[in-house]
Amino acid sequence: MDFDVLPPLPRVFGRVVLRRLEVADLDRFQSYRHDPAVGRYQGWEPQPDREVVQFIEEMSRLDLFPRGAWIQLGLAMCASNELVGDVGICIDAEDRRAEIGFTLARDAQGAGLGTEAVRGLIQFIFEQAGVAEVVAVTDQRNVPAGRLLERVGMRKVESLPTLFRGESCVEQVWTISRTAAQNHNAGAR
């Protein structure tokens, strides 16, 4: 066994740890994924337990960053290992950019955990993959998500009128380059 090479996960970002989702997370995962306020601007729909268990098992078998496909990882409190949310990452097939999504349970919001997690996640992606930029797509009405992305140093580069669940809305594209992330983190220290 090579003790010099640490596995990339779990990875601690302040008070939260980024780790693989586990079947033991099922109840917590389901409680926030069935909260309509949490899913309001998200692409996913709540699923029955059986499908979620399959999904978690599938995610735990995936390589860390499959190219051209999404992987979902868990966010847990360092102190208790209790799941507080999850993140999705999709690196394109050309290894040029990574798209991220993020979700926090309602009882974990309002404490800066999302900012800590997304700031750490961006750094982690740049460390682990060769991508030049990380992007996020939000609904303009999702003010907390926009505020979080501004706090982690992302810039809004596009606003596109679209339809989401039958309602007109504006999709906003946010981005941060490798250099901008380094400068942002240096400034945040």
Ligand X SMILES: CC(C)(COP(=O)(O)OP(=O)(O)OC[C@H]1O[C@@H](n2cnc3c(N)ncnc32)[C@H](O)[C@@H]1OP(=O)(O)O)[C@@H](O)C(=O)NCCC(=O)NCCS
Binding site residues, ligand X, CB under 6 A: 38, 41-42, 101-104, 109-115, 138, 142, 144-145, 147-148
Residues 5, 154: Cα–Cα separation, whole Å: 31
Nearer to ligand X, 103 or 175 (CB): 103
CB 41 to ligand X: min, Å: 5
Task: Check if the beta carbon of residue 158 is closer than 8 Å to that of residue 140.
Answer: no
- Are β-strands 155-164 and 167-177 bridged in parallel, bridged antiparallel, or unpaired? antiparallel
Cα 23 from Cα 105, distance rounded (Å): 17
Give the nearest distance from C-beta 115 to ligand X in angstroms. Answer: 3
Nearer to ligand X, 66 or 144 (CB): 144
Tokens coding 69 = 């496909």
Tokens 């926030």 label which residue?
32
Give me the least distance between CB of 168 and ligand X, in Å please. Answer: 18
Instruction: Catalogue the E-assigned strands of the chain.
Output: 11-13, 16-19, 70-77, 83-91, 97-104, 133-139, 155-164, 167-177
Question: Closer CB to ligand X, residue 1 or residue 144?
Answer: 144
Report the amino acid identity of residue 43.
Answer: G
What residue number has its CB nearest to ligand X? Answer: 112
Closest separation between CB of residue 6 and ligand X, Å? 27
Q: Checking DSSP bridges between strand 97-104 and strand 133-139, what pairing results, if any?
A: parallel
**Closest approach of Cβ 16 to ligand X, in Å?**
9
Q: Rounded distance, CA 54 to CA 37, Å?
A: 25
> Judged by CB, which is closer to ligand X: 43, or 130?
43
Residue 157 vs 179, nearer CB to ligand X: 157
Query: Which residue's CB is nearer to ligand X, number 110 or number 130?
Result: 110
Smallest gap from residue 130 Cβ to ligand X (A): 23
